[in-house]
Each structure stands twice: as structure tokens, then as C-alpha cells.
Structure 1
Amino acid sequence: MRMTEMIAVERMDGAVAARAESAFRVVYAEVFAEKPYEETPKSIDANFRRYRSQVREKTFSAALARTADGKPVGIAYGYPLSPSTGWWDRLTTPVDDELRREDGRRTFGLMELAVRAPWRRLGVARRMHEAVLTDTTAERVLLNARPDVEAAQAAYRSWGYRKVGEAHPWEGAVLHDVMVLDLGSGADAAPLHQP
């Protein structure tokens, strides 16, 4: 049995993800303590204060990857952006109104996608990405990615994401690439991931 076959990916709604917060925290704290992120216990606590609010979104979707013995190895989560989202306001160069238009259903904001080091490059991130988007009716997915994390950048590009701008997603943040994956809609929609 291959290592990837021993990893289970569970899709969760907000209520289930809220109960699994400790597993999400284990992965987040380990991954984002690494370079180049170097998050502190204070910033990790701040992230999980936001997480507790985010899981209450009725359209929140998450994925948690675990080993056969239950050890958390990866996380992904997000939800559709509201019409009043500030996401587009943080871009360093404004984009046209049609690109930034939000209606509460158009764009799924992927807030986090992370895999612990021993389980990287095994397809776990891709499986979680697919799981978290399983029931979405969004036309597209939006995320912020650090340009200096080459493995993540390569994965996103291979999945069909394209860069549409750059942003400082929060006060004091380094510059991130803003990336969009077009999901299409209806019967003519392209597959979620290209081979």
C-alpha cells in the first residue's frame, strides 16, 4: 500500500470543522512556523480567532487529511466571498470592475491549504483542494500565495490557477500573488483540474 493510500481526506462543513479545530491547529502551527512564514504563537492564535468566525459561515467548506492512525497531516478551508469583501481592495494595482465583482456565490475564497512536511509531494494537497470544492457552485476560486514558496506556486499553476495581481492581504504582510482558478459553469464547464 502506498503512503498516499493511507491518507484519508474528509470534507467538512463549518460545524464539523469547528469541532476539529485542534487538528487544524496542529497542521497550521507546524506548517506556518516554517520559513518563510515563521508565524509566532500570537499570530497563530489570531488566525484561529478568525477561524472560529469563519466556520460559522453557512457555506464554509473544509478538508482535513489524516493518516490511518488519525494523525492530522493537511488542511484546506474557505467559503464564498461576500459582495462586501475587502479582498480586492488590497491589490497593489486595481483590477477592472468585472474581475472584482462579487455576489456572495461567484468566488470561493480559499483561505488556507497546508500539508505537513513528511506528507508533501504525495498529492495530499490536490486531494484536499478537490474535496473542499466538491459542492461549490462558484465560478472561480481565489487565493493569495507567497511568490517565494515555489512548490505551492507550481502546484497552483499546474491546477490551472493564474495570477491576476499582487496584494498585501493584511497589515504588515509581505507581497502575495493573487491567483484565480476559473471553474466554469453549467454543462460546458471544464474539469476542476487539468491533467
Structure 2
Amino acid sequence: MLVYAEAFAEPPYLKTSADVAANARRFRSQCRKATFRAALAITGDGAPVGIAYGYPLSASTGWWDRLTTPVSDGVRRENGGRTFGLIELAVRAPWRRRGIARRLHDTVLNGASEQRVLLNARPDVPAAQAAYRSWGYRKVGEAHPWDGAALHDVMLLDRGDENGVG
């Protein structure tokens, strides 16, 4: 949880120790999913540098229900294998702007069969927004992903033929 704690303690996130503990509880539940995938970047001496993790969205996912403006049924349709939900992607500050986030992103998706990747991103974090857009993500809506959450951009990456699907 060191990566999460450090990366999200800074503005605009300002996560507290209680937030980090809540994330650790969610992580323990999420990583029990059979379809959970994760990537960890470490230094040569084993210190954690970055994380990426998520899982395919189930047919009953509530992700799309949190949008402030609904999207079409064709966009929101899930079947358990259509869309990978990228739950977290974070790199500790001293290692940013070295391509680590992109490598983590690509590693967690390596060999995945999902046609799309979905993530929530704060619009007030321009570096993350720029990275996601340069990787091919497009904004499909806005959401408050959980009660009390700041407004996030909901971003979708269409993988199409890149992974032999589509």
C-alpha cells in the first residue's frame, strides 16, 4: 500500500491514513476475484515504485450506473469479458515521467482478451489525463465513482484488433 499511500496523499487526492486503510480492504476483496490482474514495478533492491490492477467488469457491474449522464446501452453493455476495469494505476513521485505507468498499464493488459479498458480519472490531474489520451483513451462521461467522491472523467480505451478481438 506504500505506492497508493504516497501517490494519493498529494493534491488533489489528499488521501488520509483512513482512506489508505479502506483501499487496503477493497484491494483484499478485489484480488480474490479469479480474473484479477496486477502489475508491480520495483527498484533493483525491491522497493515498490508503481502499481496497476483491475479485473473484467461483470454483466452486473455498477460502474456505468455512476455516470452523471447515461451512455447508450451499446456502450454500457457488459458480459464479464468485454471490458477490463483498470481500478488503480499509480507511480510514486520520484519515478514519474520515466514510462513506468505506461509499462505497468501494458503489462497488466498483456494477453488480455477484453475489447476495451475502462478507468476513472480526475480531470484536475493534467499529467494523468494527458497520458491516458496519448495511450488512446477517450472520455465517455463523468461520474462520482463512489459516494462522496469528486467528479471523475470516465475514460474508455477501445482495444479492437490490437488484441485479436473486435
Q: Say yes or no: TM over 0.5.
A: yes
Task: From 93, 100, 105, give the equivalent of 1:129.
Answer: 105
Amino acid at match of 1:170: W
Which structure 2 residues correspond to residues 179-190 of structure 1 after superposition, within 5 A? Answer: 179-185=155-161
* Cα gap change, 1:118 to 1:43, in 2 (>3 Å): same
1:143 aligns with 2:145: no
Residues of 2 paired with 1:98 and 1:27: CA distance? Answer: 36
Give 3-state SS (helix, strand or coil) of 1:28's partner.
Answer: helix
- Aligned pairs, number: 166
Distance apart, 1:43 and its partner CA: 1.1
Do the aligned residues in 1 keep the contact of 2:111 with 2:163 (CA within 8 Å)?
no
Query: Are 2:94 and 1:94 equivalent residues in the alignment?
Result: no
Give the one of 87, 97, 104 matched to 2:80: 104
Q: Which residue of 1 aligns with 2:61?
A: 85
State the Cα RMSD in Å: 1.4
Alignment CA distance shift 1:131-1:163 (3 Å): same
Unpaired stretches in structure 2, ≥5 consecutive residues? none
Question: How far has the Cα of 1:187 moved from its partner?
Answer: 7.5
Distance 2:107 2:77 in 1: 26
Equivalent residues of 2:139, 2:156 under 8 A apart: yes
d(CA) in 2 for partners of 1:186, 1:131:
14
Letter in 1 for 2:16: T
How many Å separate the matches in 2 of 1:112 and 1:124? 14
Change (3 A) 1:138 1:82: same
Q: Which residue of the other structure, out of 125, 134, 143, is the alignment partner of 1:158?
A: 134
**Over alpha carbons, which structure has the higher Rg?**
1
Provide the secondary structure at the position in 2 that maps to 1:126: helix
CA distance in 2, matches of 1:185, 1:48: 35
Partner in structure 2 of residue 22 of structure 1:
none
Question: How far off its partner does 1:135 sit?
Answer: 2.0
